[in-house]
């Protein structure tokens, strides 16, 4: 709320009590005065009656209250009282609508109401209307909400009004964030009715308004409703005394109606016999001082707050409300092995000195209660107690007229020790070897009720039956539960006793005989466990027995297990062995012995079983054998069944394949991994092989062998894998083996005849380095290369390549470029006489041996060979004799490392096995010369001597020269 609104509200609250409106008209029989209590929203009326006919007169009054205008009467009250001379009467009216929300008018009239004056029963005239206008005090400040911080009771209805300075119609108000319906009282006042308001918080609930143009931003007008819980009637009101001097009264106040800002809940005790009232400081208890001569009390507990008053009554006799104090000085006297005396004291209550006491004894796992009547000093005698036992005793008392027990008071005590009352429960295990007898003795510790104290040691006495006078005594300190004895022979009697500080227990006696092969002769029988234990039965022996002993062990070796046993009477033929030590999935071996009158034990039956069977923990390791096209054999001989967590009842074989077809012995089933497949059950647990037949050749199969017990199957993994053999494998073997043998034989023959085959199929290539043609040329870089001599070559055709002038010759060892090769024009020169011969400078002729081209990748270059500018007529000197041609080429080649000047014709022969960069050692140094157009020799063949003699025609050109074979001629 804005500070201005708070200030104005405070100012208003200060002015309202001062606004008293009074109408005192001397001519009116009644004078009325009205004042306002804004905090409580009440009108306080005061009036006096003029000219009473009697000093004291009973009168009736009627009061009318109007709102907004005088004609709108909203309340009529009839009020009767006795009026005295010059007395001022009072009456208060509480308005549901806050008084600041509207103008109120009040008037009153009266009449005499005495029975002896009926003629005076006429109403006087009305007093003048008294106007109560709280709005006139508000001024022209900001809008306000009334009532201001009102305290209301939970579940009540509250009317809230919003007063604005201007006419408005859009204001809306909210409580707990929920919009409240609005009723327009006039142009300036809006009324909101809150029904059944609920308690939300001790700090109140906010009610605020918005959407009024007169509201300043951030200063929404509102109020806080403080909702108090409804005051309830106290429950459990009770009073009692513990010392006959003070009464302690208690009750349950139930709901707390106080709020941090409004604390009005209070309690008081009113006692009707004495007429006294006491205000209680606490909300749930109060004390009252007892009067010595008062035995009866009638209390009224009064609870009240701002809104309500509640009360409850209690009438009682003090003697019947006595709650004795706790007994004290509890002691134990004359404690022995079986008896004890307990004493105690009770606080005195004056004349009420007789008490009913209750004694409770706790020991040996039980509690016993005894009642005893006592005075201030009390005692109780306990008998039949167990020796060496700790007990807890306690006592509580009540008054003669029982109201409540006092609190418990107690102490602990222990009885004295006594000698053990029972012989130890003893059993043995006998092993005879080479005339000696090894006996392992076992005994169970005596219970607390049997030992009668702490057992200090066990006495073991052995006596040889052949010599009764010979005996030995052994003392085994506690808490041992067994010992081993090595006896000379198995005919002995053994006695075992237990001793404590008070004495020795009775002896447990047994006779030892040589067991021989008794264990092997008794057949073992399987038994099944149940929820109650392992049940077994046996046939009684033909002789007399004084009892039976059933022992068991969790393994085949007694030395490696915890041997347990149970003694049974002579009439027992069955039993259920139950033990907390039994573990699920563990096989136990049971033996049933009969005890003869001579205390000798002999084996009757052997049994084996489980307290609870489990599914196998592992699957057997399966081997595959005899794999064929249509079958294979599974075997698992190394799978041990005795160590499994249950009796193996058989095996189950799962099989699956892509074909999803089951062999005849299998049936379709869901496999453990939720896939579909086949299964086959083996009911004989001793069968550990199985042949899977009628399978498809070259097919992939997965299998699983798992054992079965009563509890289920073994693990669902892993599956083994196998693929059947191919259908034509043997035929392929019969075909492949001869072929392999024949291939080996051919390889051997080929190796033996390798020279013959080499000469026949691929003879040796002639070595170009051994050619006489190359003897004149010696390479510079590789000295081992030999240049073929031209005298040894007889060409039959020359390929002439014409090249344009101006092209530089490459250096020896360089290759021709691709472009240069493409531009090369090839002409063939036939070295036979023709009709015409060309005269003039001849083109360069280059010989390239295409046969021996393996070692000369760069042999495309031909060195320049000098040639005459004018050829002999018909070139007879060159063509008629190949030797002359070769002789003319020989000196030309010597200059092959240089360059031929432009326009010069050369004739070269270069072997492809010689390096172009190499020359003869006697060759002159090469010069860089430009090459004239030349021809390259592309093919070289041997020419028979008879074809080289014809004379050439003078008109023949070199480009048309050719060699003719025998019988050929040119036309």
Q: Which two tokens stand for residue 89?
A: 């009467």
Q: Which residue has the tokens 């002729």?
A: 845
Measured between alpha carbons, how far is 711 from 857 in angstroms, rounded to an integer? 88
The neighbouring-strand residues paired with 844 are 934
Percent of the chain topping pLDDT 90: 37
Percent of the chain topping pLDDT 70: 70
Indicate whether 340 pLDDT > 90: yes
pTM of the model: 0.50
Q: Which residues, at least 6 apart from 722, have a Cβ–Cβ distance to it below 8 Å?
A: 624, 627, 632, 700, 701, 703
pLDDT tens figures, 180-231: 888 888 888 889 999 999 998 888 888 888 877 667 655 678 888 899 999 9
DSSP, residue by residue, 271-340:
ETTTTEEEEESSSSEEEEEPPTT--EEEEEEEEE-SS-EEEEEEEEEGGGSB-PPPPEEEEEES--SS-E
Indicate whether 882 pLDDT > 70: no
Inter-residue contact 387 to 418 (CB < 8 Å): yes
Closest CA to 37 of 77, 94, 75: 94
- The mean pLDDT value for 551-561 works out to 72
Domain limits of the chain? Answer: 31-137, 145-228, 235-320, 328-414, 427-509, 517-612, 622-730
Fold classification of 427-509 is Immunoglobulin-like (2.60.40)
- The mean pLDDT value for 67-73 works out to 91
Q: Do the domains 145-228 and 427-509 sit in the same CATH topology, yes or no?
A: yes
Domain 31-137 top-level CATH class:
mainly beta
* pLDDT for res 596: 92
* pLDDT for res 960: 33
For 314-342, b/e burial (b = at least 16 CB within 10 A) is: bebebbebbbbeebeebebeebebeebeb
The neighbouring-strand residues paired with 413 are 391
According to the CATH classification, is domain 622-730 in 3.20.130.10? no
CATH number belonging to domain 235-320: 2.60.40.10
pLDDT tens figures, 684-700: 999 999 999 988 888 89
* pLDDT for res 200: 87
* pLDDT for res 773: 52
Indicate whether 336 pLDDT > 70: yes
Measured between alpha carbons, how far is 496 from 31 in angstroms, rounded to an integer? 118
Element (H, E) at 174: strand 172-175
* pLDDT for res 872: 40
Of the pLDDT bands very low, low, confident and very high (cuts 50, 70, 90), residue 965 is very low
* pLDDT for res 607: 92
3-class state of residue 790 by DSSP: helix
According to the CATH classification, is domain 145-228 in 2.60.40.10? yes
Closest CA to 719 of 700, 733, 745: 700
Please give the residue that has the higher pLDDT: either 945 or 248.
248
The secondary structure of the chain in percent helix, strand, coil, rounded to multiples of 5, reads 10, 40, 50
Measured between alpha carbons, how far is 480 from 507 in angstroms, rounded to an integer? 17
Start-end of H helices in 762-831: 818-823
> Which of 549-563, 572-586, 884-898 has the largest mean confidence?
572-586
Of the pLDDT bands very low, low, confident and very high (cuts 50, 70, 90), residue 868 is very low
- The mean pLDDT value for 286-294 works out to 90
pLDDT tens figures, 401-438: 899 999 999 999 999 999 999 999 999 988 887 778 88
Q: φ and ψ at 359, to 5 degrees? A: -110, 135
Closest CA to 444 of 347, 342, 564, 273: 564
Lowest mean pLDDT among 329-343, 568-582, 752-766: 752-766
- Long-range CB contact pairs, 203-207, < 8 A, 24+: 203/259, 203/260, 204/149, 204/259, 204/261, 205/175, 205/176, 206/175, 206/176, 207/145, 207/160, 207/173, 207/174, 207/175, 207/180
Lowest mean pLDDT among 101-115, 260-274, 397-411, 934-948: 934-948
* pLDDT for res 762: 66
* pLDDT for res 519: 61
* pLDDT for res 791: 54
Indicate whether 508 pLDDT > 90: yes
* 517-612 to CATH, choices 1.10.3210.10, 2.60.40.10, 3.40.50.300, 3.30.1330.40: 2.60.40.10
| Bridging pattern class, strands 844-848 and 934-937 | parallel
Q: Give the distance, in angstroms, between the CA of residue 218 and the centroid of all CA atoms in the same chain.
A: 52
Of the pLDDT bands very low, low, confident and very high (cuts 50, 70, 90), residue 671 is confident
**Cβ atoms < 10 Å from Cβ of 851:** 12
Strands laid side by side in the 158-163 sheet: 144-146, 158-163, 189-194, 182-184
| Bridging pattern class, strands 172-175 and 205-210 | antiparallel
The CATH architecture annotation of domain 328-414 reads: Sandwich (2.60)
Of the pLDDT bands very low, low, confident and very high (cuts 50, 70, 90), residue 112 is confident
């Amino acid at each position: 709320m804005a500070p201005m609104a708070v200030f104005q509200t405070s100012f208003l609250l200060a002015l309202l009590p001062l606004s008293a409106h009074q109408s005192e008209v001397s001519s009116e029989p009644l004078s009325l005065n009205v004042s306002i209590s804004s905090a409580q929203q009440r009108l306080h009326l005061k009036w006096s009656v003029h000219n009473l006919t009697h000093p004291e007169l009973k009168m009736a009054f009627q009061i009318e209250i109007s709102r907004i205008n005088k004609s709108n009467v909203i309340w009529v009250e009839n009020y009767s009282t006795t009026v005295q001379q010059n007395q001022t009467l009072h009456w208060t009216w509480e308005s549901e609508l806050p008084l600041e929300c509207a103008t109120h008018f009040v008037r009153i009239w009266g009449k005499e109401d005495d029975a002896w004056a009926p003629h005076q029963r006429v109403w006087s005239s009305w007093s003048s209307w008294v106007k109560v206008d709280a709005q006139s005090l508000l001024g022209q400040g900001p809008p306000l909400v009334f009532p201001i911080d009102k305290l209301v009771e939970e579940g009540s209805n509250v009317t809230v009004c919003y007063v604005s300075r201007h006419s408005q119609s859009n204001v809306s108000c909210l409580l707990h964030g929920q919009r409240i319906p609005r009723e327009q009282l006039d142009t300036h006042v809006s009324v909101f009715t809150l029904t059944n308001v609920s308690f939300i918080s001790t700090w109140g609930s906010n009610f605020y308004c918005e959407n009024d143009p007169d509201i300043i931003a951030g200063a929404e007008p509102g109020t806080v409703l403080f909702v108090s819980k409804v005051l309830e009637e106290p429950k459990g009101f009770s009073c009692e005394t513990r010392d006959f001097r003070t009464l302690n009264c208690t009750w349950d106040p139930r709901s707390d109606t106080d709020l941090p800002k409004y604390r009005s809940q209070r309690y008081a005790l009113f006692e009707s016999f004495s007429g006294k009232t006491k205000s209680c400081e606490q909300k749930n208890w109060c004390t009252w001082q007892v009067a010595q001569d008062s035995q009866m009390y009638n209390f009224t507990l009064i609870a009240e707050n701002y809104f309500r008053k509640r009360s409850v009554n209690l009438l009682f006799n003090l003697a019947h409300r006595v709650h004795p104090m706790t007994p004290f000085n509890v002691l134990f006297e004359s404690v022995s092995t079986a008896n004890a005396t307990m004493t105690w004291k009770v606080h005195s209550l004056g004349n009420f000195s007789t008490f009913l006491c209750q004694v409770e004894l706790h020991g040996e796992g039980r509690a016993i209660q005894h009642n005893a009547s006592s005075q201030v000093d009390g005692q109780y005698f306990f008998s039949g107690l167990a020796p060496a036992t700790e007990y807890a005793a306690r006592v509580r008392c009540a008054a003669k007229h029982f109201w409540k027990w006092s609190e418990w008071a107690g102490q602990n005590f222990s009885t004295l020790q006594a000698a053990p009352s029972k012989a130890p429960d003893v059993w043995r295990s006998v092993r005879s070897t080479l005339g000696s007898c090894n006996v392992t003795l076992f005994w169970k510790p005596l219970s607390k009720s049997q030992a009668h104290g702490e057992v200090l040691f066990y006495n073991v006495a052995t006596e040889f039956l052949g010599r009764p006078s010979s005996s030995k005594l052994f003392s085994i300190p506690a808490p041992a539960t067994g010992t081993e004895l090595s006896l000379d022979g198995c005919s002995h009697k053994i006695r075992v006793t237990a001793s404590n500080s008070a004495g020795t227990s009775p002896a447990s006696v047994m006779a030892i005989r040589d067991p021989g092969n008794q264990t092997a002769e008794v057949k073992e029988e399987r038994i099944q466990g149940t929820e109650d234990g392992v049940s077994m039965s046996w046939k009684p022996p033909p002789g007399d027995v004084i009892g039976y002993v059933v022992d068991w062990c969790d393994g085949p070796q007694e030395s490696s297990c915890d041997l347990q046993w149970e003694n049974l009477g002579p009439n027992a033929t069955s039993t259920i062995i139950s033990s907390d030590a039994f573990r699920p999935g563990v096989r136990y071996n049971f033996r049933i012995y009969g005890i003869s009158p001579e205390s000798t034990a002999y084996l009757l039956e052997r049994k084996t079983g489980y307290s609870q069977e489990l599914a196998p923990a592992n699957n057997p390791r399966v081997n595959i054998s005899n794999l064929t096209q249509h079958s294979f054999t599974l075997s698992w001989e190394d799978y041990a069944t005795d160590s499994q967590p249950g009796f193996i009842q058989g095996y189950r074989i799962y099989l699956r394949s892509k074909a999803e077809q089951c062999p005849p012995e299998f049936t379709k089933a869901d496999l453990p991994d939720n896939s579909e497949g086949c299964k086959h059950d083996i009911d004989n647990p001793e069968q550990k092989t199985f042949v899977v037949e009628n399978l498809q050749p070259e097919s992939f199969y997965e299998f699983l062998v798992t054992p079965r017990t009563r509890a289920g199957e073994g693990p669902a993994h892993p599956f083994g894998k196998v693929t059947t053999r191919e259908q034509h494998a043997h035929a392929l073997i019969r075909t492949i083996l001869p072929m392999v043998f024949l291939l080996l034989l051919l390889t051997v023959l080929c190796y033996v005849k390798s020279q013959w085959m080499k000469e026949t199929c691929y003879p040796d290539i002639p070595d170009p380095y051994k050619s006489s043609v190359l003897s004149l040329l010696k390479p510079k870089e590789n000295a081992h290369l030999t240049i073929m001599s031209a005298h040894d070559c007889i060409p039959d055709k020359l390929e002439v390549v014409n090249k344009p002038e101006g092209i530089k010759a490459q250096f020896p060892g360089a290759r021709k470029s691709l472009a240069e090769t493409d531009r090369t024009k090839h002409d063939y020169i036939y070295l036979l006489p023709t009709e015409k011969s060309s005269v003039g400078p001849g083109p360069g002729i280059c010989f390239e041996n295409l046969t021996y081209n393996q070692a000369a990748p760069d042999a495309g270059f031909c060195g320049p060979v000098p040639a005459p500018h004018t050829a002999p007529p018909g070139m007879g000197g060159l063509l008629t004799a190949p030797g002359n041609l070769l002789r003319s080429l020989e000196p030309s080649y010597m200059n092959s490392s240089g360059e031929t000047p432009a326009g010069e014709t050369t004739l070269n022969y270069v072997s492809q096995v010689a390096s172009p960069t190499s020359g003869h050692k006697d060759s002159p140094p090469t010069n860089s010369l430009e090459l004239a157009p030349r021809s390259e020799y592309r093919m070289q063949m041997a020419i028979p001597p008879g074809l080289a003699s014809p004379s050439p025609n003078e008109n023949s050109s070199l480009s048309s020269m050719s060699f003719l074979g025998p019988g050929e001629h040119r036309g």
